[in-house]
Chains A and B, each alone.
Chain A
Amino acid sequence: MGIFRPAEEQAVREHLAGLERRVELALVLGPEEEPVPGAREIDFSAESRRLLEELVSLGEGRLGLSVHENGAFDVERFPAICVLPEGADAGVRYYGLPWGYELTSLVGACVEAGRTESSLSAESLELLATLPKDVSIDVFVTPT
């Protein structure tokens, strides 16, 4: 069974059609984990891979996918998806399986990474430029 329903497929296609440059997705898989009864019926790594393969196919050449093992891109937990505009590491990650509503977050990250100009306002960019060093932002989300 496909991951996306026909209407979702069409919506994702339309979003990805707007990419102005190619975006690479790097999936980093971790070491095998001991299953926890009742909590790990799903193979998150395999599902992530399946989902990304389908997403990339909807990108019609605008998205690429590579799969890596533990240690790549200095990721902290698994599975991890690194969103790389034109293959460059811009520091954008998704940790976990982006299912449910969170697929929208990943598609949104691809769309943003695919822009050649920031979607932030000039005022925001000016303010953010005053930061003296890299700042890390973690956004905790849930699929529902």
Chain B
Amino acid sequence: MRAAAIEATEFPALADSMDVWAVPKIVVEGVPRYEGAVPERVFVSRLLEAAGQPTGE
């Protein structure tokens, strides 16, 4: 797992290319996925879904 926080205002072109209109914006494997903070269970479920794995739900 690799995890990066990216300060959107310092990298506006990148943020624009990832459709960042609200934060936090979650990008998985270079694909814009979700916005907003969510509980751990939901985050893990979404992450697995984005990675093409069974979500356990």
Contacts and interface: CB of A to CB of B under 8 A. Distances in A.
Interface of A: 44, 77, 91-98, 102, 105-106, 109, 120-121, 123-124, 127-128, 130-132, 134-143
A138 B11 contact: no
Contacts of A102: 5, 7
A14 to B, nearest CB: 22
Given A91-B2, A95-B5, A130-B53, A139 B10 contact: no
- Identify whether the interface residues of A are mostly helix, strand, loop, or mixed: mixed
A139 B9 contact: no
**What's the interface size class on B, roughly?**
35 or more
B6 A136 contact: no
B27 to A, nearest CB: 4
Contacts, number: 126
Residue of B7, B29, B41 ringed by the most chain A CB atoms within 10 A: B7
B26 to A, nearest CB: 6
Given A91-B3, A134-B2, A140 B48 contact: no
Given A124-B41, A140-B18, A94 B5 contact: yes
Contact of B26 (A92, A94, A106, A139): A139
A94 B7 CA distance: 8
A93 to B, nearest CB: 4
Contacts of B27: 137-140
Given A96-B11, A124-B44, A127-B48, A139 B3 contact: yes
Given A96-B6, A96-B10, 6 more contacts: A127-B53, A131-B1, A136-B4, A136-B29, A138-B4, A140-B8
A100 to B, nearest CB: 10
